[in-house]
Amino acid sequence: MSFPNQQGINEVKAFFANLSDAEVLMFCCNLNRDQYPNAPPLAACAVVVCLDTEGWDADSNALKEVGVNTFESRDMTANASPGPWGENILNKVYFYFARVQKHAHLRNKNFSAGHPDTNRFGLQRFLTDDEMVNFLTSAFEWPLDADAEDGRVCPVVLLGHALQNDVGKVEKLLGFTARNVVREVDTQAIARQVGHWNHPSNDIGLQRLVGNMGFAFRDPHTASNDAAYTTISAIQLIIDAAFKGTGHPRTLQSVIDNLERMSKYHVWSHGEEKYCFRCGHHGHCEHNGGPNGGRCLKRVYCDWCFEHHPKAHRGHRTAVCVMKAFESSNSSRPGRRHRKRGGPGVAGEGRNQGVQDATALVANDFPQLPPADGPSFNARKHPDVARTQLLKPAGQRLRGILPPVQPGRRQHPGFVPPPALPCLKAAGQTLQSGCPPTSAGAAFTLSKKVRPRRPRAGNVPGQAPRSAVGQPQRKRNNNNRRREHSNPFEDPVRLDRNNEG
C-alpha cells in the first residue's frame, strides 16, 4: 500500500541516498540546507524519529519498552541558529515512553540493568501490542497537512544508536514496518564521519559517546532515556564548535536538566497512564491502588506457582509470574530449566548432564583404558581422567583412583565411614551387664548410660538390711529418693527388700 504522495517520498529518498548520515541530520536541523538548492521540496518537511527499545535479557522475544523522540524539519526552518549547545533544536523535540503491558513487570539485573521508574524524559504509558502498533504508526506517519486529511504523510528519517538492533526488534516482535522511511541515520556512523571516533574495528558505545559530549549518563537502559541521550549526542556532533564550549552562560548539563523538566508536559493519549501489576487493572499502580492511596490489596494467586512452588503462589497473578517467564524463555542455559517437584525433570538436563558429559568425555578421548575392574590403572599417565572421575556416577569410578561410594551419596575421596555403634540390640539379647534380657518384640529405649550401682554401706547382698536387725534406719535424702525411681533390677538389696514384702 502506498501513500498519495509516494512519488515525492521516493524523490526525497533518492536525494538523501547521496548524503552521509551527518549531512542528512544537518539538513533536517536546517544547518546546511542552503547548500542544496536543488533539494526536493518535500525534503524540508521530513520528520526525524529517534527509536530505542529495551528487551528482557532472559528472553530475546520479550519486548519491554519503546522510547521515541521526534521533531519536524519545518519547525527548524524558523531557527536562525541552533543556539548554545543546540538548545533551540532540543526544545522542539517531543519525548514518548511506551511500555509493553504484558512484559512491563520484567526487570533486567545483569548487563543491562535499568528501572523504568527512573525515566527522565517524557511521560510513560502502558500499551498492549495493538496499541503499540497504533502508537508507532502515528509517530511515523505524520500527516503532511493536518487540516486536509488527504492521506499524504511526511518522509521520515530514522535516528538511533546501533539502529539495526532496535528496528529488528520492532519488526519481529510487533510486526510493525514503517513505510515512509527515506533514510536511517546512526550516531555511530555520525561519530566516524565528523572525526570524533576513529577506531578501526569497534564502534563507539552510547555511554562513552555521552561522556565525550560532556553530560551525565544517568539512569541508562531505559528506552526513553537512551533515546534522549542518542538525540542529544547526535545534535552535539553536528552543530558547529562556536555553539559549544565554555564561552556560554549555561552549561550543556543545565540545558539537559531544563529539557527533562519540559518533557514532562508532553501529554499523549495512547494506552493507559497507570497499570497495576498485582490485579491487572488500569487507573492505579501496585503501590498506590489500595484504600487511602496504599498498596493494592486484591487477593490474587498464581496457578503455575501453585503447581510448582506451592508456598509462593500468593501475591501475584499467573500473567506476571517471573518464574513462569523464566521457564518459557528462549535464553535459559542448558541444565537450568525448572523441574517439577518430585518429577523426573527434562531428559538430558539438570545435574546429571555434567555427569553424562564427563562420562562421554572419558569414553571418547580414552578408548584404550582398561575397564574399571581391570588389573591395573596408572593415574599418572592419564591425569585428566583422574580429575574427571569426581563427576562420574556412584559405582562407576575407575579402580585405583577413588574408592567406591554408596549409590546416591557424594563423599570425599578419602572418606572412611565410621563403624556402626550398636546402641540398641535385638530382642532376646542382653543390653549390658546388670540388665535383664528384653522379651521378644519389646522395644527397649535407653535414655542414659546404664551401670550397676554399689549396695548401701553396711548392707551385704543376700542379707537383711540394718533396719531389720534393730538398728536405726538412715534418714532419706534426695539421693535415696532418686534411688526409689531407678531400675529395681540394678540394686540387689532392693530386690531382697521387695522379696521380704
pLDDT digits (tens, 9 = 90+) for 24-71: 999 999 999 999 999 999 999 999 999 999 999 999 999 999 999 999
At residue 422, does pLDDT exceed 80? Answer: no
At residue 372, does pLDDT exceed 50? Answer: no
CATH topology of domain 6-263: Nucleotidyltransferase; domain 5 (3.30.420)
Contact status, residue 263 vs residue 71, Cβ threshold 8 Å: no
CA dist 93 and 159 (Å) reads 13
Structure confidence at residue 289 (pLDDT): 74
Q: Among 143-147, 203-207, 376-380, which is the least confidently predicted range? A: 376-380
Widest distance between CA atoms in the chain = 142
**Which of 97-111, 131-145, 360-374, 408-422 has the largest mean confidence?**
131-145
Q: Among 50-54, 249-253, 491-495, which is the least confidently predicted range? A: 491-495
At residue 419, does pLDDT exceed 70? Answer: no
Q: What is the mean pLDDT of the chain?
A: 78
At residue 437, does pLDDT exceed 80? Answer: no
At residue 395, does pLDDT exceed 90? Answer: no
At residue 246, does pLDDT exceed 90? Answer: no
Structure confidence at residue 341 (pLDDT): 42
At residue 108, does pLDDT exceed 60? Answer: yes
CA dist 207 and 159 (Å) reads 17
* CB-based burial label for 258 (10 Å; 0-12, 13-18, 19+): middle
Q: In the chain, which segments carry CATH 3.30.420.10? A: 6-263
* CB-based burial label for 166 (10 Å; 0-12, 13-18, 19+): buried
DSSP 243-279: GSSTTSSS-HHHHHHHHHHHHTT----SSBS-B-TTT
Cell numbers linked to 198: 576513529
Whether the full predicted model's pTM is greater than 0.85, yes or no, is no
CA dist 122 and 88 (Å) reads 18
